[in-house]
Structure 1
Amino acid sequence: MDLDVADKSAIVLAGSKGLGRAVATQLFAEGASVVITSSDQDNLADTVQEIRDTVDENPDKLQYRVCDLTDPDSIESGMTGAIDDLGGLDILITNHGGPPSRTFAETTLEEFDDVYQGVVRSTVQACKIALPYLEEGGGSITNLVAASALEPNVSGSLANVFRPGVYGLSKTMANEFGGDGIRVNCVAPRGIYTDRIEYKIDMLADEEGISIEEAEQQREEELPLSRLGSPEEFGRAVAFVASPAAGFTTGSILHVDGGWSSSAF
Structure 2
Amino acid sequence: MEHGLRGKAALVGGASRGIGRAIVRRLVAEGMQVLGVARGGCDVPGAIGLAADLRDPAAPAEAVARAVRDFGRLDLLVNSAGATQRGDFLALDDAAWMDGYAGKFFAAIRLTRAAWPHLRASQGSVVQIAGAGGRVASADFTIGGSVNAALMNLTKALADRGVQERVRVNCINPGSIRTDRLAGRIAAAMREHGLDETGAAEFLARSAGVARFGTPEEIAAAVAFLAGAEAGYIQGAILDVDGGWIRAV
TM-score relative to the length of structure 1: 0.88
SS at match of 1:105: helix
Match of 1:264 in 2: 248
Match of 2:121 in 1: 136
Structure 1 residues 115 and 230: alpha-carbon distance in aligned structure 2, compared to 1, 3 A threshold: closer
Structure 1 residue 65 and structure 2 residue 50: aligned?
A: yes
1:159-203 CA distances to partner (integer Å, 9 max, x unpaired)?
Answer: 122221111100000011212111100011112212222122112
Once residues 238 and 219 of structure 1 are traced to their aligned partners in structure 2, the CA distance between those partners, rounded to angstroms, is 26
- One-letter identity of the residue aligned with 1:264: A
SS at match of 1:4: coil
Among residues 167, 184, 190, which one is paired with 1:182 in the alignment?
167
Match of 1:26 in 2: 26
Match of 1:105 in 2: 90
Once residues 113 and 231 of structure 1 are traced to their aligned partners in structure 2, the CA distance between those partners, rounded to angstroms, is 27
Alignment of 1:49-128 (within 5 A): 52=45, 59=46, 62-128=47-113
Once residues 193 and 134 of structure 2 are traced to their aligned partners in structure 1, the CA distance between those partners, rounded to angstroms, is 24
Number of matched residues? 249
SS at match of 2:172: strand
Shift of 1:230: 2.3
Among residues 140, 146, 160, which one is paired with 2:145 in the alignment?
160
Match of 1:255 in 2: 240
1:89-120 CA distances to partner (integer Å, 9 max, x unpaired)?
Answer: 00000012321112210011122222121121
Once residues 228 and 207 of structure 1 are traced to their aligned partners in structure 2, the CA distance between those partners, rounded to angstroms, is 20
Once residues 159 and 251 of structure 1 are traced to their aligned partners in structure 2, the CA distance between those partners, rounded to angstroms, is 21
1:105-146 CA distances to partner (integer Å, 9 max, x unpaired)?
Answer: 001112222212112111100000000001112010000011
- One-letter identity of the residue aligned with 1:221: R
Shift of 1:225: 5.6
Question: Aligned residues: percent identity?
Answer: 29
Once residues 40 and 110 of structure 1 are traced to their aligned partners in structure 2, the CA distance between those partners, rounded to angstroms, is 22
Contact in 1 for aligned 2:15/2:81 (Cα 8 Å): no
**Alignment gaps of 5+ in structure 1:** 53-58
- One-letter identity of the residue aligned with 1:19: I
Once residues 249 and 161 of structure 1 are traced to their aligned partners in structure 2, the CA distance between those partners, rounded to angstroms, is 25
RMSD: 1.7
Once residues 30 and 100 of structure 2 are traced to their aligned partners in structure 1, the CA distance between those partners, rounded to angstroms, is 33
Once residues 151 and 14 of structure 1 are traced to their aligned partners in structure 2, the CA distance between those partners, rounded to angstroms, is 23
TM-score relative to the length of structure 2: 0.93
SS at match of 1:151: coil
SS at match of 1:186: strand
- Which is worse superposed, 202-211 or 239-248? 202-211
Shift of 1:233: 2.0
Shift of 1:208: 4.3
**Alignment gaps of 5+ in structure 2:** none
Once residues 209 and 91 of structure 2 are traced to their aligned partners in structure 1, the CA distance between those partners, rounded to angstroms, is 33
